[in-house]
Amino acid sequence: PKPFFIVFSLIFVLSGHTLFAQQEPMFTQFSNNIQAFNPAFINPNDEKHNLTLLVRNQWTGFEGAPVTQFLSYHRFVKKFRSMAGVSLVNDKAGALGFKLINLFYSYQFVFSDKNIFALGLQTGILNARIYNSQIQTTDPGDPATTSATLSRWTGDINFGIFYLYKNFRTGLSIPHLFSGKMYLQEENNMGLKSRLIPHGLFFSEYKYRFNSDYSLKTAGLIKFIKGDYQWEINSKITVFNKFITGI
């Protein structure tokens, strides 16, 4: 099918490129948690209350290994063609940590039951932290790495679009829509200048049904930032509409 070809074409054309540092939390099964990075995500067939909790521990056993917790609630109301929700994120990798509290809303434009376009907006507050006590330097007396924790709260906005057509869905979101400077400061007025940088996240997924009991979903996520990018891919097999396994 053509949408299936588009997903893999985009992924393989961009393969083999360098990776980059980013300011967004990472999730292995990102297709299960689209609302974490695209506020326009919408499921027009699900009007239930949805509560999601994800915990990610990477490189377990290594000091400073990345750890992410994500908690969200959302509900789609078909009568108003809208979805609204709230999310909490705690992300820490090494000496750098982020905490986010967000409200998100999306509105859908229905062309047909299987042809839907949606716009979404997310707004919230972000707390950036640098744990100086976890930074090791060759000079123990280096004033740039005291035992204090640098911290700063700032506003944040995320915009997204999302499109569904039969078994194909895709979307684009821009976290940190407006680039903003942050000055993380200690009590002794020493600090560090930082900046939130807009990202671009492009997502595509296609669902292929073998029969009424078995289906395969393959998804790709491409992340852009300042002229560089990285990509991810995962696949899931659903059995009897109850059991899911994937990579």
- Give the pLDDT confidence of 56-112 residue by residue, as tens digits: 887 777 777 888 899 999 999 988 999 999 999 999 887 788 899 999 999 999 998
C-beta atoms surrounding 203 within 10 Å: 24
- pLDDT at position 121 is 96
Higher pLDDT, 17 or 152: 152
For residue 9, give the H/E element and its range.
Answer: helix 2-13
Q: What is the pLDDT of residue 194?
A: 65
Percent of the chain with pLDDT over 70: 74
Out of 108-112, 224-228, 231-235, least confident range: 224-228
Res. 225 pLDDT band, cuts 50 70 90: confident
Report how far residue 139's alpha carbon sits from residue 91's, in angstroms, rounded to the nearest whole number.
28
pLDDT grade, residue 145 (50/70/90)? Answer: low
Model pLDDT, residue 94:
79
Lowest-confidence pick of 27-31, 127-131, 179-183, 205-209 = 179-183
- Nearby residues of 243 by Cβ (< 8 Å), 6 or more positions away: none
pLDDT band at 139; cut points 50, 70, 90: low
Residue 227 vs residue 71, higher pLDDT? 71
Full DSSP string of 81-94: TEEEEEEEEEEEET
Place of tokens 């911290």: 151
Stretch 147-164: mean pLDDT: 84
For residue 70 the two structure tokens come to 């994500």
Task: Kindly state the tokens that stand for 83.
Answer: 């979805």
- In the chain, at which residue ranges do the beta strands (DSSP E only) sit? 49-57, 67-77, 82-93, 96-112, 115-131, 149-165, 168-174, 180-185, 191-196, 200-209, 214-225, 228-239, 243-246
Contact 46, 75 (CB under 8 A): no
pTM of the complete model beyond 0.85: no
pLDDT at 43: 82
Q: What gap in Å lies between CA 132 and CA 110, rounded to an integer?
A: 50
Is the pLDDT confidence value at 9 over 50? no
